Amino acid sequence: MNPGVAAVANTGPTRAAPLGVMIVDDSAIIRGLISRWIEAEPDMTVVGSVRTGLDAVNQVERVKPDVVVLDIEMPDMDGIEALPLLLAKKRDLIIIMASTLTRRNAEISLRALSLGASDYIPKPESTRESGAAEIFKRDLILKVRQFGAGLNRAASPVLPSPALPRSASYILSQTLPAPVKFTLRPFSPNMPRVLLIGSSTGGPQALMSLTARLGPVIDRVPVLITQHMPPTFTTILAEHLARVANRPVREAVQGEAIKAGRVYLAPGGLHMRVARQGDANVIALDDGPQINFCRPAVDPLFMSAIGIWRNEILALILTGMGSDGMRGGKDIVAAGGNIIAQDEATSVVWGMPGSAANAGICTAVLPLDQIAQRVLKIFSGEHA
């Protein structure tokens, strides 16, 4: 691709009124804990605190929340039953599913994303574990604030994208302020020998759409994915990706050889790197400190890949909060590889791809439904 200039949204105005948050959980302890956290933030306030999904559905039109933190397991009406009813009553509602880390809840949380939930957050099994409670608090406040920020920026309505949940598409229609410019890099002509993918918020939906179309690439080269996700959730995601890709997709295992024809997903709670062991390229996992507030993080994968594949790397940075992947992406570009980022209009949150675009390291910034086509062309030797 020739160097070019593309549009990217800038930061929108600040919100005049605090974000209204409704907490829906059958545990009075959890409701009280989250309420205290929310009320301690200057830009948020609790507008409702109820114990069942039915209570939430009955009160949502009266209290008019911006964000709902919705438990899954509740009496009378659980979270998955309440979800579509809440969205039917308030189209622009941001719903964050909250659940403990069980396989059943992970399945339900991923299903909720397809039904219109904006995101999910794992609850600690015990609020007495200070470290777990602090992580839960930090992640919850970050998600509420990030999604709430999308409601601060009005724009003309757009039709929901078929590749995204309805609520995510609505968020996108609210986050399109006046554009500024970013510069695209020339495409490095080196044929990639690996495809790396990093994603976070909105990533499961994006990965499902993308991997369903990448079969010919998976057959030729290994594909390694880091999705910000807790344990158990990555197990379920790997199973879902395997079904849509019709190719082997699994959580990566320490020391296993990296081969073409397979997709390796970083396990929740572990950083995934690549290393050389004898004549083989292998997976290297570790539970070291969080990087960019995440574990797994994208940067360790991107940076370690340079020592193996050098200038023959193609990396994709998809929807997600923060800037994870940007630093590793800079190193990939410096080594002679290429970066493609998802565009703002199809990203649930344009943090990670936006950081890469603004850093000037991308050869293309594309809608989600055009990324697979571009990747297929690259691996066929077409670089334009």
Residues 6+ apart with CB under 8 A from 233: 101, 106, 109, 110, 120, 122, 268
Res 4 pLDDT > 60: no
Half-sphere exposure (Cβ direction) of 181: Cα atoms closer than 13 Å: 5
Distance of alpha carbon 322 from alpha carbon 72, whole angstroms:
26
Q: Which residues are catalytic?
A: 200, 228, 324
Compute the 3-state secondary structure of the chain and give helix, strand, coil in percent, each to the nearest 5: 40, 25, 40
Residues 6+ apart with CB under 8 A from 279: none
What pLDDT does 179 receive? 47
pLDDT bin (cut points 50, 70, 90) of residue 152 is low
What pLDDT does 148 receive? 83
Res 229 pLDDT > 90: yes
What pLDDT does 182 receive? 83
Say if residue 381 is exposed, middle or buried (CB neighbours under 10 Å; 0-12, 13-18, 19+).
exposed
Neighbours of 212 (CB within 10 A): 14
Neighbours of 348 (CB within 10 A): 31
Res 173 pLDDT > 90: no
Name the DSSP class of 221. Answer: S
Read off the pLDDT of residues 342-380 as tens digits, 9 standing for 90 and up: 999 999 999 999 999 999 999 999 999 999 999 999 999
Give CA separation, 38 vs 32, 35, 205, 304, 326, in Å.
Answer: 10, 5, 28, 39, 30
What average pLDDT does the structure give for the chain?
88
Mean pLDDT for 208-233 is 96
Alpha helix locations (H) across the chain?
A: 28-39, 53-63, 79-89, 103-115, 130-150, 166-173, 203-211, 215-220, 233-245, 298-309, 326-335, 352-358, 368-379
What pLDDT does 154 receive? 38
- Which residue has tokens 């990030």? 146
Res 209 pLDDT > 80: yes
What pLDDT does 239 receive? 96
Res 16 pLDDT > 70: no
What pLDDT does 125 receive? 75
What pLDDT does 253 receive? 98
Amino acid at 278: G
Res 266 pLDDT > 80: yes
Neighbours of 193 (CB within 10 A): 19
Read off the pLDDT of residues 61-112 as tens digits, 9 standing for 90 and up: 999 999 999 999 999 999 999 999 999 999 999 999 998 888 999 999 999 9
Name the DSSP class of 346. Answer: G
Please indicate whether residue 344 or residue 11 has the higher confidence score (pLDDT). 344
Read off the pLDDT of residues 112-148 as tens digits, 9 standing for 90 and up: 998 999 999 998 876 666 678 888 999 999 999 988 8
Domains of the chain in sequence order: 19-155+163-171 (3.40.50.2300), 185-379 (3.40.50.180)
Mean pLDDT for 301-309 is 98
Distance of alpha carbon 138 from alpha carbon 131, whole angstroms:
11
pLDDT bin (cut points 50, 70, 90) of residue 56 is very high
Of 195, 187, 222, the C-alpha closest to 338 is: 187
Of 31, 9, 78, 37, the C-alpha closest to 357 is: 9
Which residues, in sequence order, are bridge partners of residue 250? 264
What pLDDT does 219 receive? 97
In this structure, the strands spanning 263-265 and 249-251 are parallel
What pLDDT does 19 receive? 94
Distance of alpha carbon 153 from alpha carbon 14, whole angstroms:
9
What pLDDT does 382 receive? 82
pLDDT bin (cut points 50, 70, 90) of residue 279 is very high
Res 8 pLDDT > 60: no
